[in-house]
Structures are given as C-alpha cells and as structure tokens.
Structure 1
C-alpha cells in the first residue's frame, strides 16, 4: 500500500514538537502540504526548519496561533486556506492530586484539549462535507479508557474527545469525509523524554531504565512492554488521513501497545 496525499493540505495543531511534529513529517512525506501550528512564531519557524532539514522536499508552511482560546482558533482558521486533513493534536497534561486541582485547571484543560478541536472542526468541516472529501483526526489517549488517578483532569478531556469524534462522524454519513480518534499509549515525545531524563538523573539511572520501570509499574498490561516512538503513532495517523482509510469512520484507533484489555 502506497499512501499518496499529493494535492491535499493538512493542518496539525501543536506540531512544533513531539507527536504532532512526527505527524506533520509523516503527512509531508506522503505528499501533503502541511501547516505547522504552535503558539509562538519563533517556535513554528524553528519547527519548519527542523522538518525541512530532515525532509528537504516537504511542503510546509507555518501558522502561529494559541488554539486553547476561541480567538486563537479564529486566527488560525483565518490564516489557512482549504484544509483537507485536520489533526487535532494540541494538548496539555499534568500529574496532580485530584483534591488539589482548582476549577481554573479544569477549564484550562477543557479549553486546550477539547474545545480547540471543537472550534476547528466547526469551522473547517462544513467545507469538507461540501467537497465530499476530508479527514478529521483527534489525538486522544489510552487515558481516555483507563483514566489515570494522577491525571483525572487529563483523562476526562481525552474521553470527551472520543465522544466528539464519534458524534462528528455521525454527521458524515454517505459522504467521503471521515472522523476518527487515535489513542496513543506512553510515547517518548520531547516532553516525556525530558521528564525521563530528569527522573533518571535523580535516581542515578538511565532514561531507558526509567521508561521500562514506568511501563512495568504503571502500565503492566502493556503488550508492547515499552514506550512507543512518536513515529509509530504518526504512522497510524497518516493511514487514517489517507484515501485508503475510506471505510474507517467513527473509530477509536488504538496505538497504545495493547494496554487496553479489550477485543473491541
């Protein structure tokens, strides 16, 4: 199977680093023109430079906007033209005791992780339906199914993404538009790598050993028995964005290494 996205334009939110950046690279490699998004222009430009350094033929442009706000989403929509593929990747997480999470944090997580995707889909999906082709992909998490007790505020937003994704898919019946979610498990993104390195230094060990210990202690049901790479997650997203995935709609696509003990 050869995925060819030539002629398609993709917007990946939160794509200056981590999973989002790997998704942008994967889509660009498949021939799509990709819009890199981040909050600050300098970060967006640096991300474009890194991507083009590794993928010289990539067609990449930038659009700086803070999608955690309604104004930022409006700015982003105004900055882009026709979008064929929307990847709602922007998100935040923070381990915190439930009893110490203030109302403001719940609102901040909801606005960033949930409402960013709601606002962008509301703005960009109608044109996809009119053209009878489009892909919307929400980057959820295995935490949507197994709510982590140390990040309940995060888990609830990831579950909400699944509900929105499935609901939007219902609006595509009989069209060439699909809406799906991808559920990564523990992934060695830039932010996670920094966390592992810091913990390794404190415990006089290596980041690889810290990662293995995390999986063993906190995700013992993992069949992968390791963290995924950002490229492994991106591969699933690129497939979901492809013409070959035309019969995949309203699905929660698991790329979490078998942590979720369920056959459906």
Structure 2
C-alpha cells in the first residue's frame, strides 16, 4: 500500500513544507494509535461538510479523553484549503495527545485523490474482523492496522475495498466506507451499533432518501441475494459494487437504480453546499 505524497501540511499553528518532519517521537498518537482523524473532500475550491466532520472529530476526541488543542481545527482546514485548487484532494485532520509536556498536536494534510471506477468496484469480505458490541468501533481513530491490511489484501486480488464482518456473523462496513444494500426493494444499511462508523455521507443519504430506507443488520446471505450493493464515503461519495469475491459476481454497479438515485441525492447536496459557501464568501447570508 503506497502512501501518496503530501501536497500541503499544517502542523500546530503553522503551514509548513509538505516534507517537513513534525512528529514527536514520544507522541502516543503515533506510538499507540491514540488519535482521532477526519478525512474531507476538497474539490474545485470547496471543502465539503466541514461542520459535520468537525462535530464527529470533537466527539471522538472527547471519547478518547484527548485534550482540546489551542488552535482552531476549522481555521487550520481553511488555511490548507487556501493552498489547494482544481482537482480532488483528500484533506486529513488529525489530533493527538502530543508528547509529554508538549500539549496536544493538531495536523492537517492534503494529498491527491483518485476516485474509484465510476462503473463500479469489486470488494472482498473478511469474516469476524470487527467486534459488534465494542463502542470503539464507531470512533474514527488512527488505530487502522486491521483495516489497512484487509484493504491491502483486497487490492491484491483486484478489489477496491474489503467489507468487514463482525464476530457475530453480520457485515458492518468497509475499511474506508459504509455499506448499503437493496433487499426486496428497500435500501438497508447496518446500524452504527453493529460496529459501523457514523459516516457523513451515510447520514446525509439516510436523511434525504425518505421512505424505504432502514438501518438493520446485514449478513453475507443478504448481500448474496441483494439486487444492489453500494458503498459511501466522504471521498468516494457513492461507490457502486459489481462483485463481492466468493459471494456474488453479477451486481449492477452504477447501472442500478438505487445507486443512480443515491449519487443524484449526494450530488444535489454537494451543489447546495458549494453554493452556500460561495454566497458566504461574497458576503450574502
């Protein structure tokens, strides 16, 4: 799994050269994974859904008992966004406890982002990878080894993502995405209480879909008979699924009506958000 080169870096109050060392060796955020992060999409001058990301970021920090940084996360994001233009970037916000006696550390980085194939993606399914009843599963922490290795293995067999099963046999989410399936005409997504992260695009889609969308457990046998499966994330938006390795090989991907509708709903929300941001910059309210 190759890391993309950074295009922008903000660390502890200042913009820095992207290759400048900023990590303190004694920081438990980097030694132990005791850190929270958010990844936001920047595209064509817009950093999407900042309020929602910061709210989840602060909830995660409070749950881990991380001290509040002396800098504004929103201001740091804005400074990095001002350095960017044009094509899509993944902008990551990270908070760590910092090294002993140094106080917390706040980082913002930006790197290039390439969207998955618009026609659809493949996934693998990893059984018993998550603890359904563990509250830590719903926090976006930097403890990502399990997810990173699962996705790396998936990519080695031509998949874009790995779906993660729980210790109780259901399927919670992907390593970097939330899971949706269409069963008997109804859109279904696993509840966060089953080990799923409360994804930003997931919540947006649930809130705008209307009747015919529910949160309930999904098992492999449900996915095997689903008429459609797609994934959501802040970066990929809607990622329609074509196949799940060793489970189903003939899903419709982007041709599915639910995936088309979901993409349209998120596109409309993003358009409205971008217009509101533009109005603010011009001084309108």
Identify the TM-score tier after normalising by the shorter chain: under 0.3
Structure with higher helix content: 1
